[in-house]
Amino acid sequence: MSKTVVTFDGYELTNNYYVSDLRTSLLPRTIESQDVPGRDGSLFTGVRLAPRTITLTLTIKNKSIAVRQAAARALAAILAVDEPRPLSLSIDGGLYFMAIPQSSDDATRWVNASQFEVTFECPDPVAYGQERTVTIPSGGSVTFTVGGTYPTRPVVSASAARNNTSIGGWRIALEDGSYIFATIPSGVSSAPVIADCAARTLKVNGNTALLIPAADWLVLEPGEHTLAMTGTGAATVTFDERWL
């Protein structure tokens, strides 16, 4: 059986440290309920995904305490990130989580080894998979399939978007009726547009803009979808497939 390879922020931990006791939850969720006077049990009010925790043990083996301490300090430097970074486990087949680590428990030390328990907190509990890109031709549409098991939010960008005169703007619509909408400023024949549906930001001609009230950020469920453009200027749609 091959060993599980653990890579964090581009550094393969299993190159220099022994990894064991890998533990992660299958489906971290918060189930919400409310007590109702006179009712047995409680009333179910909702459920949502909770942050994911991935825990493992890292062991440094060497007879020299000084060598082990130097290796421990090097490990601390690798883990001392200030925001979530990619964490991948080879058993996940290329998927990765955005995680931030901590190791606050005391180390366990033996004659020839030091052992540390490291916990990776994943505020976003859903794994990232393959990045996909599709192109919407100028004034046209594209049909494509989204893989994964969880919805994803795309980034839509166009280098030279132009308004459609009948609607007074540039629109990308999903088959369910939801759409993003940008108004190219008057006096400008075409302008770059970037709509990040995960970050909920829209930039038109380099300036931050707001979606019109009737528009909304696009959400791509796993399965087949069609995106259609009203206006002109080819657009690129980029998204990461997401996995529970």
pLDDT digits (tens, 9 = 90+) for 47-93: 999 999 999 999 988 888 888 889 889 999 999 999 999 999 999 99
pLDDT of residue 127: 97
Is 52 among the domain residues? Answer: yes
* CB crowding 117-155: b at 16 or more within 10 Å, else e: bbbbbbeebbbbbeebebebeeeeeeebebebebebbbb
Residues 112 and 218 grouped into a single domain: no
pLDDT of residue 157: 97
Residues 192 and 210 grouped into a single domain: yes
Of residues 104 and 218, more confidence is placed in: 218
pLDDT of residue 183: 94
Tell me the C-alpha distance between 119 and 101, whole Å.
6
Is 46 among the domain residues? Answer: yes
**Where residue 210 sits, what CATH number does that domain have?**
2.60.120.860
**Domain's final residue, options 125, 160, 178:** 125
Which residue range(s) make up the domain with 89?
A: 6-125
User: Is the pLDDT score of 105 beyond 80?
Assistant: no
Average pLDDT over residues 9-22: 91
Residues 147 and 189 grouped into a single domain: yes
- CB atoms under 10 Å from CB of 11, counted, come to 15
| Residue 234 in tokens | 């080819």
pLDDT of residue 30: 92
Tell me the C-alpha distance between 207 and 47, whole Å.
37
Is 211 among the domain residues? Answer: yes
Cβ contacts of 89-96, under 8 Å, gap ≥ 24: 89/4, 89/5, 89/6, 89/22, 89/54, 90/2, 90/4, 90/5, 90/6, 91/4, 92/127, 94/129, 94/130, 95/127, 95/128, 95/129, 95/243, 96/127, 96/128
Residues 147 and 233 grouped into a single domain: yes
Domain count within the chain: 2
pLDDT in tens, 186-216: 888 899 999 999 999 999 999 999 999 999 9
The model carries a pTM of 0.86
Assign 2 a pLDDT band (cuts: 50, 70, 90): low
Residues 162 and 120 grouped into a single domain: no
**Where residue 84 sits, what CATH number does that domain have?**
2.40.30.200
Is 1 among the domain residues? Answer: no
